Amino acid sequence: MSWFIRKEKGINTPTEMKREAPDGLWYQCPNCKKVMHTREHKMNAYTCVHCNYHEKIGSTEYFALLFDDNLFTELDANMTSADPLHFVDTKAYPERVKSTIGKTGLKDAVRSGYGKMNDLEVTIACMDFNFIGGSMGSVVGEKIARAIDHSLKTRTPFLMISRSGGARMMEAGFSLMQMAKTSAKLALLSEARIPYVSLLTDPTTGGVTASFAMQGDFNIAEPGALIGFAGPRVIRETIGKNLPEGFQSAEFVLEHGFLDFIVDRKDLKDKVTSLFRMLE
């Protein structure tokens, strides 16, 4: 097997001869493992050019994709979590929030704003999964409630982009009541006949699915997104069997009648605008 043996030991290429390949220039799709240019991936709305896998993205990316020229006015940008219960598990809750703010640069798990989408005034709230699993505490509930208030006041359609593991345990009872609060505001929005589109992205589970994410006039989802009330692990433990292939995927949920349609992220802006325009 002599052809495997190096003739010369060590790396001999001089630094100036090495190819320039800065970090982040290439993106490897976690689904099909194929590689593409980061820029190409971004231009493709962060979906894989080979297999159409929808990469998980946050509010910054969605706002850039949806608001014309990325121009929007952010609502309640500085709202952060309090610690009403003085909650301590393996870490004190305020510390956990502080370190997450440091790590992510986000204030909490949702951002909201208003601006133009294909020239149509809209209000959008979008969750960030990076912030403690996109969990819903008082800040998430309050910011969504106020975004709906803004929608009501200006009579602009409301788009909610959900991505969340559910309620935030560190706010216990308070976080549970955010399901009620957001539902109350959506009942008012409904009564005012202002359209509400709920986009469910990967993953949307727990208390978020069981409140505002499933209360849209139109419930839509990104392809392949995991959508459910109970998480797959919990269900597996309950029934003591493996779950069928594709269980709780957006396609499964569509088939069972709980989604209006699945939308490719590249078509999201135009399709949602068309829908809102048809209702004007």
Task: Catalog residues that contact another protein under the rule CB under 8 A.
Answer: 76, 78-82, 84-85, 87-90, 138-139, 141-142, 145, 167-169, 171-181, 183-188, 190-191, 206-207, 209-215, 227-230, 234-235, 238-239, 243, 247-248, 256-258
Q: From the CB of 90, what's the least distance to another protein, in Å?
A: 6
Nearer CB in complex with another protein: 117/167: 167
DSSP SS3 for 212: helix
The β-bridge partners of 160 are 125, 198
Which tokens belong to 224? 């392949």
Q: Considering beta carbons, is residue 225 or 227 the nearer one to another protein?
A: 227
Phi, then psi, of 190 in degrees rounded to 5: -65, -45
Give the pairing type, strands 196-204 and 158-164.
Answer: parallel
- Are 263 and 222 within 8 A, CB to CB? yes
Nearer to another protein, 208 or 263 (CB): 208
For residue 80, the minimal CB distance to another protein (Å) is 5
Nearer to another protein, 218 or 258 (CB): 258
Question: In the complex, what is the shortest distance from the CB of residue 93 to another protein, in angstroms, rounded to a whole number?
Answer: 9
In a 13 Å sphere around the CA of 70, the CA atoms on its Cβ side amount to: 6
Name the minimum Å distance from CB 268 to another protein.
Answer: 22
Instruction: Give the pair of three-digit tokens for residue 51.
Output: 């297999």
Rounded Cα distance, 25 and 36, in Å = 9
State how far the Cα of 137 lies from the Cα of 131, in Å rounded to an integer.
11
In the complex, least distance from residue 125 CB atom to another protein, rounded to whole angstroms? 15
Smaller CB separation from another protein, 15 or 90: 90
